[in-house]
Amino acid sequence: MTKPVAQRPGGRTARVRAQILDATARLVARDGIAGFRYEEVAELAGAHKMTVYRNWPDRNSLVSEALLAAAEHTATLSDTGDLRQDLVDFLLALAAGMADPTGRALVLAIQSAKDNPDLRATTNTVLAHRVALVQHRVDHAVALGEIPQVDALLLADLLSGPVQLHVSRDLRPFTREDAERIVDVVLAGLRATAR
């Protein structure tokens, strides 16, 4: 009787893929979308360059997947039942993610997207994912009567815009107090305009 072989969650392949995507995002943050080479990605990821070429035969697919992976880890929006706290935590995670090299790559890609149709499609997907997170949380808050009906894209812009501006200025760290002020002003504005 043979013993079943225990499988590692994700295994080596998943780990190498994650390292390649992270390396790509870091190089994009450092050198821009067109400035990195597959050889650099492989070296930074500790992988063979043929592994990179085999899984991502073109630059756009590699950059797109790296940016999507970076976006997933940049900020999440929980639903704990306390909308204010959830939004404050979301903004803190967003600020931390934007200050990280992979988050900077995402910001750079969004800024560069207007000149690159393939990249624009990826950044639109990233932004749509972020809006979907906000929409899910907003729908629940609206159903509970915590806030009036609001467009999730508008809410995401109202919340994230000040965070992006603060992080890009890089004058001081983004704090919980900063996040609380932003959330309080936005929620008060939503409630006031609904009357």
Cα dihedral 55, 61, 66, 68 in deg (nearest 10)? -120
Residue 46, domain member (yes or no):
yes
CATH number at residue 48: 1.10.10.60
Domain of residue 150, CATH code: 1.10.357.10
Q: Are 25 and 113 in a shared domain?
A: no
Backbone angles phi, psi at 152, to 5 degrees: -65, -35
Cα–Cα distance, 104 to 112 (Å, whole number): 12
Whether residue 156 sits in one domain with residue 104: yes
104-162 pLDDT, tens digit each: 777 777 777 677 777 787 778 877 877 888 889 999 999 999 999 999 889 988 998 99
Residues 163 and 136 in one domain: yes
The reported pLDDT for the residue numbered 10 is 60
The amino acid present at 144, given as its one-letter code, is L
- Indicate whether 125 and 160 sit together in one domain: yes
Residue-range definition of the domain harbouring residue 21 = 11-58
The predicted-structure confidence for 183-193, as pLDDT tens digits, reads as follows 999 999 999 98
What is the per-residue pLDDT for 74?
66
Model confidence, pTM: 0.74
What is the phi/psi pair of residue 164, to 5°?
A: -60, -45
- Is position 6 within any domain? no
pLDDT digits (tens, 9 = 90+) for 162-176: 998 898 888 899 999
Task: Say yes or no: 75 and 27 in one domain.
Answer: no
> How far are the Cα atoms of 12, 106, 138 from residue 190, in angstroms, in the given order?
48, 29, 12
DSSP-assigned states of every residue in the chain: -PPPPPPPSSHHHHHHHHHHHHHHHHHHHHH-SSS--HHHHHHHHTS-HHHHHHH-SSHHHHHHHHHHHHHHHH-----SS-HHHHHHHHHHHHHHHHHSHHHHHHHHHHHHGGG-HHHHHHHHHHHHHHHHHHHHHHHHHHHTTSS----HHHHHHHHHHHHHHHHHHTSS---HHHHHHHHHHHHHHHHHHT-
pLDDT in tens, 23-68: 988 888 788 777 778 999 999 999 999 999 999 998 888 988 888 8
52 and 91 in one domain? no
Number of domains, the chain:
2
| In-domain check, residue 143 | yes
- 111 and 155 together in one domain: yes
Instruction: For residue 195, name the pLDDT band (cuts at 50, 70, 90).
Output: low
